[in-house]
């Protein structure tokens, strides 16, 4: 080592090494969240592989992501060359044959414990021993998920919020066995992809989901009781509290099936009435009116995802 090497140079190199440790990312699940995470990571110049369980779902996801970026181009928020660069770094697969080549694997499937546990167990057998496993869960126990693997020190949660490319926050969730090295590497990775990491303790709902669910639920009960229309409820909350979206429009953008899954998990684990899902939410989910992604929820949407004024 050179005698002229300063301490700050060494520290700087250490930080750079941590940030550059993750150079390739695999994402399991190409739904709305998986697409958003892939776009965000690719935009930071990192190679991404998106994995889905069938060719049909994969092709559908690829088209949805392309359409989503096109809408951003129309708003002058992105250029065609940026779209080309982002999509060029995303590989679309239905196979895990090359999963051992990736430094970090992010699970972004439905909020079902058994499904996530099965995926982590399978990945543990296939991925390289140094790979970090990340779950995008918003309510489930990471410690229990980690117990299905032999690398519990390399399991961590990154709870991204939708729309992922636009929301700067990510909650970093350390489970019981997560090592400090894993935390530091993932914090550096989060910064590299333009996210502000907030460390939270493992607890159902963490911070953001636990705080927002009662608000969404109460807005639904206000609608159910006929106090005001969905539009007026949202206007009241946007103007009264400076929200960018009202609670019902926000629920539609999150996906009503996801919102219901969060409520059911929080109701089951915490047993508090504020998490008991409003009947109107259950009705919409039964009817497969899941919000913006299906074209109808509390509002109806056009092909560009804009609310249709009635």
209-294 and 7-201 share a CATH fold: no
Confidence (pLDDT) at 203: 87
Cα 273 from Cα 113, distance rounded (Å): 22
- The residue written with tokens 């750079």 in the block is 16
CA atoms within 13 A on the CB side of 69: 22
C-alpha span between 184 and 198 (Å, rounded): 12
The pLDDT value recorded for residue 11 is: 40
For the whole model, what pTM was predicted?
A: 0.84
Quote the tokens at residue 121.
């167990």
CATH topology of domain 209-294: 1.10.1040
Q: Which long-range contacts (CB under 8 A, 24 or more apart) does 12-18 make?
A: 15/188, 18/184, 18/185, 18/188
Q: What is the pLDDT of residue 18?
A: 53
Beta pairing partners, 47: 24
CA 104 – CA 249 distance, rounded (Å): 33
- CATH class of domain segment(s) 7-201: alpha beta
Q: pLDDT 10s digit of each residue in the chain, 310 long?
A: 444 444 334 344 334 445 456 789 999 999 999 999 999 999 999 999 999 999 999 999 999 999 999 989 998 989 999 999 999 999 999 999 999 999 999 999 988 999 999 999 999 999 999 999 999 998 889 999 999 999 999 999 999 998 899 999 999 999 999 999 999 999 999 999 999 999 998 888 899 999 999 999 999 999 999 999 999 999 999 999 999 999 999 999 999 999 999 999 999 999 999 999 999 999 999 999 999 999 999 999 998 888 997 6
Instruction: Kindly list the distances between the CA atom of residue 31 and the CA atoms of 53, 162, 164, 258, in Å, as whole numbers in the listed order.
Output: 11, 11, 12, 12
Domain spans in the chain, listed from the N-terminal domain onward:
7-201, 209-294
The pLDDT tens digits of the residues spanning 149-203 come to 999 999 999 999 988 999 999 999 999 999 999 999 999 999 999 999 999 988 8
Distances from the Cα of 128 to the Cαs of 72, 98, 99, 183, in angstroms? Answer: 36, 10, 8, 18
């Amino acid at each position: 080592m050179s005698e002229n090497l300063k301490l700050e140079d060494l520290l700087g190199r250490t930080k750079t090494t941590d940030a550059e440790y993750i150079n390739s990312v695999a994402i399991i699940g190409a739904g709305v969240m998986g697409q958003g995470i892939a776009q965000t990571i690719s935009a930071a110049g990192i190679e991404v592989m998106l994995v889905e369980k069938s060719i049909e779902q994969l092709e559908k996801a690829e088209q949805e992501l392309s359409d989503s970026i096109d809408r951003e181009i129309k708003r002058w928020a992105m250029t065609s060359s940026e779209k080309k660069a982002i999509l060029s770094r995303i590989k679309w697969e239905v196979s895990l044959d090359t999963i051992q080549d990736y430094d970090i694997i992010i699970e972004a499937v439905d909020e079902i414990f058994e499904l996530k546990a099965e995926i982590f167990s399978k990945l543990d057998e296939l991925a390289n021993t140094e790979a970090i496993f990340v779950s995008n869960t918003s309510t489930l126990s990471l410690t229990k998920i980690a117990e299905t693997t032999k690398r519990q020190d390399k399991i961590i949660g990154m709870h991204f919020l939708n729309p992922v490319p636009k929301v700067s926050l990510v909650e970093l969730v350390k489970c019981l066995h997560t090592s400090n090295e894993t935390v530091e590497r993932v914090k550096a990775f989060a910064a590299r992809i333009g996210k502000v990491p907030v460390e939270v303790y493992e607890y159902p709902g963490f911070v953001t989901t636990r705080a927002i669910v009662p608000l969404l639920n109460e807005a639904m009960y206000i609608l159910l009781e006929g106090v005001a229309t969905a539009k007026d409820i949202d206007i009241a909350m946007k103007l009264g509290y400076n929200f960018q979206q009202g609670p019902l429009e926000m629920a539609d953008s999150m996906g009503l099936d996801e919102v219901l899954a969060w409520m059911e998990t929080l109701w089951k684990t915490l047993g508090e009435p504020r998490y008991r899902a409003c009947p109107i939410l259950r009705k919409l989910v039964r009817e497969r009116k899941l919000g913006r992604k299906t074209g109808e929820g509390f509002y109806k949407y056009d092909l560009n995802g804009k609310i249709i004024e009635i």
